[in-house]
A and B are shown apart, each in its own frame.
Chain A
């Protein structure tokens, strides 16, 4: 059997621990204080006692010592029991104990309890005076009120003074009463008060240090508890928010292990993991790539990519079996701890409706484009072929022009609708002369203006070099002229001005038509918007021309604005950046 196991090789642990506790207590070190006193639970519940309980408990050691002294005297010095001073000391202490029990300390200030140890010096002094000759150590009982006073941490200066003054009065008052005048007698006995003061000072220092440590520990504990409470509250809030959102949320740790999956993601997970088919015990993970047709390789699953530390956005995956398939836009953000990968958060947003709508829109655009343009091709093509013949009656030529004009109008409408629906306008700027494009557009608008009795006036500079897409800018001018003429139902004048400015070039189209109200100006460039005056006047239109016009101008890096007065007309001004 090994030696240490027999208890020889190591000290008796409880004693060692007690000693260590004592040493640490004396050195004033921190946490081990309570460790060293764990065998004595009193320090823990002392503060929880009622004020009366505390006074009684404070007085109890002296009372117990009194009983011990009484026993010793009874056995070894019974003559002392007959000494009236000794009896008075005992009686006084007994009276004080009864008072300690009876006084309602809870109604008095805490410092009132200090009266008990201060008054304790009197019975101790009486007993010492009567028996100091036979039992010299009786004076040492003064240490008990001294310890009480100096450990209370109330009025520390008063208590320290009393820890010297109390024992001093205890030994000097009898000398004074006896009429002693020998200075030596006074100086010999002063050793006791000095020792008592030293003890009181040590107790005060240790007690203050312990109280300070206890306060520090209490504060730290309170802060820790507050931090824990706050953290728990935040966790509850985060969990509730994460569960409340309609987006699937998945959190992974650095090893790729799932640490959080919200309610929505649990449903998404179930969609990707349907019950295995009958006869098969292998469940297939239903996650597909773009289009939702081909199963995705597991390493391309969003959570696998995120676990490798990848950050990504709007990565589309198709999840679930045919018929129940949903499309998710997934995003991942790595969690970094001091630059080190510490996990990731992946979100799964259901974009099925959006993808469905986009697919439907693309199909619609493609179909409408084809279906509308095919008959237009025939109408416009045959009209042109027919118009080129010179064997037609003259009325037929006029009628063909009407057919052709309306066919072209329909073609413009189709183009506008499709441009608006596709949401983008391709602009390829090149150096060109805006004045020349204005000339072409005016020529195109001339027949419409003639029919409406509108006078077209060109006040543009002879040359306006600009960086523009000639076709798209032609579309802008066609729109502006067409509108200006259309909204001048009683004839009038449409004036176009263009030239260079400090910032670039400008082009304005002013009409003397029906104008617009100020509130209509705000919505003027919005798709499908038509002003109240336009609607009431019965002028046809679908409200796309100006929306497309603005898109084209803005794609050139320019801007368009409109000023208008109802009944007086409107001015549209396009500003474009300089060509160089």
Chain B
């Protein structure tokens, strides 16, 4: 079964670029252009991974991550054009950060690594009696 990714970025060109890269990697891509739409898309599609922009028009990517964490444990890769970020994104449940501009090849590698490590964590999680 194909893995699903939700891409949340307000810039149409970047959204298209990420969609193209990740679709090329064999993922099913759902896209959203605002924080609210992104949170809703995650709720609806229950993705295996989320690629989230730091700066969104309605609320910040950190806030979106916090809301997503309320109901989903899927790994979140945050993209940012801001240089000096504090630990806030990680405290909000973000797994990895990637600076813009990024290399398409690197994005694909990072997404695949996150998916693999998350899968491993889920599998090795002790099952309650």
Contact = CB atoms under 8 A, between A and B. Distances in A.
B83 A378 contact: no
B104 A381 contact: yes
Given A376-B101, A418-B83, A370 B21 contact: no
Contacts of A50: none
Contacts of A382: 13, 17
A313 interface: no
Contacts of B105: 384
Interface in B49-105: 55, 81-84, 100-105
Contacts of A366: 82
Contact of A378 (B14, B82, B103): B14
Interface string A368-397: 011011111111111011001000000000
Contacts of A419: 83
A373 B21 contact: no
A518 B102 CA distance: 41
B11 interface: yes
Contact of B83 (A376, A380, A384, A422): A422
Nearest to B12: A378
Interface in A136-158: none
Interface in A402-452: 407, 411, 415, 418-419, 422, 426
A366 B60 CA distance: 13
B89 to A, nearest CB: 15
Given A384-B105, A385-B17, A385-B20, A377 B100 contact: yes
A374 B103 contact: no
Which secondary structure characterizes the binding site on chain B?
loop
Nearest to A408: B101
B83 A381 contact: no
A376 B84 CA distance: 18
Nearest to B99: A373
Contact of B17 (A372, A378, A415, A418): A378
Contact of B81 (A377, A379, A384): A377
A418 B80 CA distance: 14
Contacts of A426: 84
Nearest to B106: A384
A27 B107 CA distance: 107
Contacts of A370: 55, 81-82
Q: Assign chain B's interface to a size class.
A: 10 to 19
B79 to A, nearest CB: 8
B85 to A, nearest CB: 11
A407 B101 CA distance: 10
Interface in B1-42: 11, 13-14, 17, 20-21
Contacts of A374: 11, 14, 81, 100
B101 A377 contact: yes
B103 A384 contact: yes
A377 B82 contact: no
Contacts of B55: 370
Interface string A354-373: 00000000000010011011
B13 A378 contact: yes
B7 to A, nearest CB: 13
A377 B83 contact: no
B78 to A, nearest CB: 13
Contacts of A407: 101
A543 B27 CA distance: 45
Interface in A27-71: none
A344 to B, nearest CB: 36
Contacts of B83: 369, 415, 418-419, 422
A373 B81 contact: yes
A391 to B, nearest CB: 15
A85 to B, nearest CB: 120
A422 B11 CA distance: 26
B17 A377 contact: yes
Interface in A208-236: none
Nearest to A368: B81
A411 to B, nearest CB: 6
Nearest 5 A/B pairs, CB to CB: A373-B81, A378-B13, A377-B101, A370-B81, A381-B17
Given A372-B81, A377-B102, 14 more contacts: A369-B82, A374-B14, A374-B100, A376-B100, A377-B11, A377-B14, A377-B101, A378-B13, A381-B101, A381-B103, A384-B104, A385-B17, A422-B83, A422-B84
Interface of A: 366, 369-370, 372-382, 384-385, 388, 407, 411, 415, 418-419, 422, 426
12 contacts: A370-B81, A373-B100, A375-B13, A377-B17, A377-B81, A377-B100, A380-B101, A381-B14, A381-B21, A384-B104, A384-B105, A418-B83
